[in-house]
Amino acid sequence: MNEPQSRFLRACHRLPVDATPVWFMRQAGRYMPEYREIRQNLSLLEIMERPDVAAEVTLQPVHALGVDAAILFADILLPIVPMGLDLKFIPGTGPQIDPPVRSEADITALRAVDVASDLGHVMETIRILRNELPDDVPLIGFAGAPFTVVSYMVEGSPSRDYRHTKGLMYSAPDLWQELMGKVAEVLGDYLLAQIQAGAQAVQLFDSWVGALSPADYARFVLPYSQRVLEAAASSGVPVIHFGTMTASLLELMRLAGGTVIGLDWRVPLDVGWSALGGEIAVQGNLDPVALLAPRPELERRVKEVLDGAGGHPGHIFNLGHGILQQTPVENVRSVVEMVHEWTTANGS
Amino acid sequence: MNEPQSRFLRACHRLPVDATPVWFMRQAGRYMPEYREIRQNLSLLEIMERPDVAAEVTLQPVHALGVDAAILFADILLPIVPMGLDLKFIPGTGPQIDPPVRSEADITALRAVDVASDLGHVMETIRILRNELPDDVPLIGFAGAPFTVVSYMVEGSPSRDYRHTKGLMYSAPDLWQELMGKVAEVLGDYLLAQIQAGAQAVQLFDSWVGALSPADYARFVLPYSQRVLEAAASSGVPVIHFGTMTASLLELMRLAGGTVIGLDWRVPLDVGWSALGGEIAVQGNLDPVALLAPRPELERRVKEVLDGAGGHPGHIFNLGHGILQQTPVENVRSVVEMVHEWTTANGS
């Protein structure tokens, strides 16, 4: 493989860069007027099922913000639809899966997925995007991690305590493993298919993994995340492994795999990077609420993240979670400029 | 002061005990049939405002479970009512404060509180309880920590992102400090009044503090928690300082104060205790969902917590957060028995 030329891919491989690359989780979405315009006529699922529209939405922040990577516009729960589940997005509540997956019969009934055809609209979106994106803006594909996807499937709606999910783990570990195994297989295939369609990197989102103790993560989750991460890594593209509330899980997440580990703001970047052993790239970790702060405070916080990175190769600037819909676009654009300007000045 | 005789108070002071003391956050509540019976005729606020009923509810788990401490039945938001706010408990949603506190005018309008009279029903509940509780079951009073209470006041309802709270912090640090100062003063007075009325220990609940980065905690929260903890500690009774998602905050929480630090299940007990330096008592840290697990799994998890404590003096067994309402009472009682039996056998 030739040495990659884009900032983002170089940083994933911890190669020197001309400036720290920046992208934002949920960089396409409701905070952007051009996105809201499209949403007036189409539901979330309709946008994601129409490759031309999903591609257009993916490109919006690339044009508006000057970010160093595009991320496919999709939802982590898309792969559960061909598994036979009924997914709806309820305004104000979030995703709803009704009925949820709780019994042996529910798990047995899950259908095998042929990702290339069942999720063909996603692959088509990726092909369109690879044609339209400039060479220096790589496309990131993604999937939810098995724990996060399974917890949605089992809870049926957002949860504070993950009572049903942990209940299944603790009461029926064999069923848990069967379910995680099925989901991990689909997610691994899904990432590989995205890479084959043209994604130049992928991110595994384990957004809710911070609900678990390290012992439970090691026993009930790590082997399945590892399976998905290894499937994706076999392609040779960089794989970002992200979670929130992971301060106690970082070593285990590193063991599970990933070229890059995504941190949230609850761990100072330097502390998190050390906990990971340093010999890996990191992504993060501005608090998304900082994007709502006045300019001087926002600058202070961006500097704090960059200081934590200390100019070491292998830092990708991002938030610690997705952009909030109340975020002013102007602030997001300013952060891209700050990061580029301040890290170019340092020389690297 | 004489050496305390009860297991719970001895453990707070890291004195040897005949068995590890156990109590549970939210040990009185909806999972108990005798509580549900009372709730058929009275709202949550009505129970808390009637000292005879609040005392009865506080005693229910002492009788049913054999726990080593009682905790006052109250809500962390009670002190905001005399501050002039309209507090309601909405079934299925949780507390609602309408209108919330967001502007300078809102903060200026907060009323000074005379805790002894304005929250006289709480003090009366404590006096009743001290008459009725056996000598070996101390009464724990409590308050919410300034950050957690203020975040409810500012958000108005439970939040995932604490956007308004952090927005106030970041945009108007002077107002933030004024608000935290006012609330900290009330909470310090409130704990002292509870101690004067007879509480033999108090716990400061910083349930939502894990939403913050260590830098934000140090700058915007620590000084106010410290003020409340110092006020309570001046009385000489043990003070428990508890939060969730605190893996990155433990050192700072210790600096803020407390005789005992309460841990959640996201940090292994031994790791958390080491991070705290070891020279302090710890409380925790079973995942509340474990109480819904089948007996062998529950036993395994209780053992894991006790192994983490390693028989060192200064461990109080508890959950990492409150009991869930779906919890079988029988399981809770079994945990009390397990902890007592297994730690007595070890000798201590």
Minimal-distance CA residue of chain B relative to A215 = B268
pLDDT single digits (tens) B234-260:
999 999 999 999 999 999 999 999 999
Per-residue pLDDT at B216 exceeds 60: yes
Work out the minimum CA distance from B267 to partner chain A, whole angstroms. 6
Domain annotation covers residue B113? yes
Share of chain A above pLDDT 70, in %: 99
pLDDT (mean) for B117-125: 97
Question: Which residues have a Cβ under 8 Å from the Cβ of B183 and sit 6 or more positions away?
Answer: B83, B146, B149, B150, B153, B224
Q: Are A61 and A24 in contact (CB under 8 A)?
A: yes
Contact A289 B166 (CB under 8 A): yes
Total count of domains within chain A:
1
The residue among A36, A3, A216 whose CA lies nearest residue B268 is A216
| Cβ–Cβ below 8 Å for B271 and A248 | yes
CA A275, A280, A285 angle in degrees (round to 5)?
65
Which pLDDT score, from 0 to 100, does residue A1 have?
56
Q: What is the DSSP string of A206-246?
A: ETTGGGS-HHHIIIIIHHHHHHHHHHHHTTTS-EEEEESS-
Stronger pLDDT, B3 or B105, i.e. the higher one:
B105
CA atoms within 13 A on the CB side of B333: 12
Q: Are strands A87-90 and A94-97 parallel, antiparallel or unpaired?
A: antiparallel
Statement: residue A277 has pLDDT above 80: yes
Q: Residues B71, B319: contact at Cβ < 8 Å?
A: no
Which residues are A285's β-sheet partners? A318
Residues A242, A204: Cα–Cα separation, whole Å:
6
CB within 8 Å of B238: residues ≥ 6 apart: B9, B12, B13, B201, B202, B259, B260, B281
Rounded to a whole number of angstroms, the distance from the CA of A247 to the nearest CA of chain B is 6
How deeply is A87 buried, as exposed, middle or buried, from its count of CB atoms within 10 A (0-12, 13-18, 19+)?
Answer: middle
Q: What is the mean pLDDT of residues A84-107?
A: 94
Chain A residues within an 8 Å CB radius of B171: 292-294, 297
Contact B266 A213 (CB under 8 A): yes
Bond prior to B296 in cis (omega within 30° of 0): no
Residue B2: per-residue pLDDT: 72
Q: Does residue B319 surpass a pLDDT of 70? A: yes
Q: How many angstroms separate the CA of residue B284 from the nearest CA in chain A?
A: 13
Using DSSP bridges, classify how beta strands A239-243 and A260-262 pair: parallel, antiparallel or unpaired: parallel
pLDDT of B91 reads 86
Is there a domain that residue B188 lies in?
Answer: yes
pLDDT at A91: 86
pLDDT at A121 over 80: yes
Q: What is the pLDDT of residue A92?
A: 81
Please list every residue in chain A whose beta carbon sits closer than 8 Å to the beta carbon of residue B248. Answer: 247, 266-268, 271
Contact A137, A62 (CB under 8 A): yes
Residue A2 falls inside a structural domain: no
Query: Quick one: average pLDDT of A309-323?
Result: 97
* Chain A residues whose beta carbon lies within 8 Å of the beta carbon of residue B266: 210, 212-214, 245, 247-248
CB A50 within 8 A of CB A20: no
Please judge whether B289 and A167 are an interchain contact, meaning their C-beta atoms are less than 8 angstroms apart.
Answer: yes
**Model pLDDT, residue A348:** 42
Q: Give the mean model confidence (pLDDT) for residues B224-237.
A: 98
Interface residue ranges in chain B relative to chain A, Cβ cutoff 8 Å: 161-163, 166-167, 170-171, 210, 212-216, 245, 247-248, 265-268, 271, 287-290, 292-294, 297, 304, 324, 326
Q: Is residue B1 pLDDT above 70, yes or no?
A: no
Chain A partners of B293 at a C-beta cutoff of 8 Å? 167, 170-171
d(CA B148, CA B144): 6
CA-only gyration radius of chain B, Å:
19
pTM for the complete prediction? Answer: 0.95
Mean pLDDT of A82-93: 92
Q: For residue A136, which phi and psi values (nearest 5 degrees)?
A: -90, 5
CATH of the domain at A332: 3.20.20.210
Q: One of B31, B35, B102, B152 is an active-site residue; which one?
A: B152
Tell me whether residue B30 is one of the annotated catalytic residues.
yes
Confidence of residue B158 (pLDDT cuts 50, 70, 90): confident
Q: pLDDT higher for A73 or B92? A: A73
B304 with A266: Cβ contact below 8 A:
no
| Residue A194 within a domain | yes
My answer on whether omega of the bond before B268 falls inside 30° of 0, hence cis, is no
What's the rounded Cα separation, in Å, for the pair A19 and A28? Answer: 23
> Is residue B162 one of the residues assigned to a domain?
yes
Query: Which pLDDT value is given to residue B98?
Result: 96
Q: Which pair of tokens denotes residue B38?
A: 């009372």
Q: Which of A136-145, A216-225, B88-97 has the lowest average pLDDT?
A: B88-97
- Report pLDDT for B347: 46
* Residue recorded with tokens 């911890």: A14
Task: Kindly name the residue from B7, B10, B26, B227 that is annotated as catalytic.
Answer: B26
pLDDT digits (tens, 9 = 90+) for B163-196: 999 999 999 999 999 999 999 999 999 999 999 9
CB contact under 8 A, A161 and B288: yes
Answer whether A162 sits within 8 Å of B247, measured CB to CB: no
Given strand B260-262, what is the order of strands in its sheet?
A: B70-71, B139-144, B201-206, B239-243, B260-262, B281-286, B315-319
Specify if A257 maps to a domain. yes
Looking at CA atoms only, how far is residue B223 from chain A in angstroms?
19
Task: Kindly indicate the confidence band of residue A235, based on its pLDDT and cuts at 50, 70 and 90.
Answer: very high
* B287 carries an active-site annotation: no
Question: CA–CA separation, B205 vs B318, rounded Å?
Answer: 14
The pLDDT value recorded for residue B3 is 82
Which tokens sit at B114? Answer: 């005379």
What's the pLDDT at A332? 98
Q: What integer pLDDT is reported at residue A347 of this predicted model?
A: 45
Question: If you ran DSSP here, which 8-state letter would residue A14 be given?
Answer: T
pLDDT at A3: 82
Domain that holds residue A300: 7-346
Strand pairing report for A239-243 and B260-262: unpaired
Q: DSSP labels for A318-337?
A: EESSPPPTT--HHHHHHHHH
CB contact under 8 A, B324 and A267: no
Interval B9-29: pLDDT, tens: 999 999 999 999 999 999 999
Strands B87-90 and B94-97: antiparallel
Say if CB A201 and CB A12 are below 8 A apart. Answer: yes
Q: Whole-number mean pLDDT of chain A?
A: 96
Mean pLDDT score, B155-170: 95
Six token digits for residue B71: 């905790």
Chain A contacts of B304, Cβ < 8 Å? 215
